[in-house]
Structure 1
Amino acid sequence: MRTKPPPEDVEAEEASFTPPLDVGRLGDLLGFHLRMAHVAIYRDFAETMEELRLTQKQLAVMELVAGNPGVSQIDLANTLGTDRATMMALVNRLAARDFIERRPSAADRRRQELHLTEAGRATLARARALIAMHEQRFIELFSPDEMDALLAALKRIYKGG
């Protein structure tokens, strides 16, 4: 839910605006442009998810649990490229909000399976509607062919070829 700042805030912002810095050699670095694009998308995501108080990582965990009921924390950590301690903290936060529940595995007592709760499913449904709007703001910057090419290029980077 974006709102325009009050007029006095706009005036203060305009008065304090300085021209952007010359980025010099950074302008030729792929990593710099990926980082700047990430920051733009991250900020928009944070604004979009403000009402639900969900981070990108939390939403990713909820999506993976929704698509893979009974998944383990270790499998989530491996898929998202994070360590076990970080994943445990993420799952703990989602469980504290009653979005995810742990259940003992019938096949292996040492393993806990993760499932979305009713509240988790409802929150994920609302998050998906918000994410669709968030994604559309960026997708509409590209033609369908450009979007396909961009996604293919990004996948090439993180899949290593």
Structure 2
Amino acid sequence: MNKSPDPAIHLGLLEDYIGLHLRMAQEAVLRAFIASSSQPDFKTGRFATLMIIRLNPGLSQIEICRAIGRDKSTISPLITALEKEGLILRESSAKDRRSVTLHLTQAGEDALDVLMPHVERHETRLDVIVGDAKPDLIALLKKLIEALS
């Protein structure tokens, strides 16, 4: 796929839309990761969910949604898939028996360990691309998230 839209295609007002460029950047970053990692089925939500559970065992599904900015309707099928694959466990919450908490299994830990070198290489590549603007870029993205959440 092209690095940027075909210059012969007139984008009109879209050229100045932040949302369009955010989406295109997200897609480009994901395509580059998939190409460099040989992980054709990689999903960003999958990695983020596993990592949040690793770092914060015992969170609820809702807490994970908030942590990674996902909608409840998209996280439920992901959690179900991760559980079916044996990567996570759902356990009754000690605080609220109506709620469940999530924990990685050893297979989940192993899956993250396999992904991490690919993720680190990819993030290093992104760091090189954005250079010294990284803190400003992250600050602007966080500003958008905060203002629109």
Match of 1:8 in 2: none
1:49–1:55 Cα contact (<8 Å) kept: no
Match 1:97 to one of 63, 85, 89: 85
* Structure 2 runs not aligned, ≥5 long: none
* In structure 1, C-alpha distance between the alignment counterparts of 2:62 and 2:18, rounded to whole Å: 32
Match of 1:158 in 2: 145
Moved more, 100-109 or 86-95: 100-109
Match of 1:6 in 2: none
SS of the aligned residue for 1:69 comes to coil
| Aligned-residue CA RMSD (Å) | 2.4
Deviation at 1:71, TM superposition (A): 0.7
Match of 2:14 in 1: 26
- Structure showing greater Rg: 1
Structure 2 vs 1, CA of residues 107 and 86 (structure 1 numbering), >3 Å: closer, same or farther? same
Deviation at 1:52, TM superposition (A): 7.6
Match of 1:56 in 2: 44
Match of 1:140 in 2: 128
Match of 1:112 in 2: 100
Deviation at 1:19, TM superposition (A): 5.8
SS of the aligned residue for 1:142 comes to helix
* In structure 1, C-alpha distance between the alignment counterparts of 2:97 and 2:63, rounded to whole Å: 16
Deviation at 1:20, TM superposition (A): 4.4
Match of 2:114 in 1: 126
Deviation at 1:131, TM superposition (A): 0.6
SS of the aligned residue for 2:59 comes to coil
Q: How big is each residue's C-alpha offset from its partner over 1:33-84, in whole Å with a ceiling of 9 and x where there is no partner? A: 2222122112123334543833111111101111110111121123333343
Instruction: Provide TM-score, normalisation by structure 1.
Output: 0.77
2:34–2:40 Cα contact (<8 Å) kept: no
Detail structure 1 runs of 4+ shifted over 4 Å in the superposition: none
Instruction: Provide TM-score, normalisation by structure 2.
Output: 0.82
* In structure 1, C-alpha distance between the alignment counterparts of 2:119 and 2:18, rounded to whole Å: 26
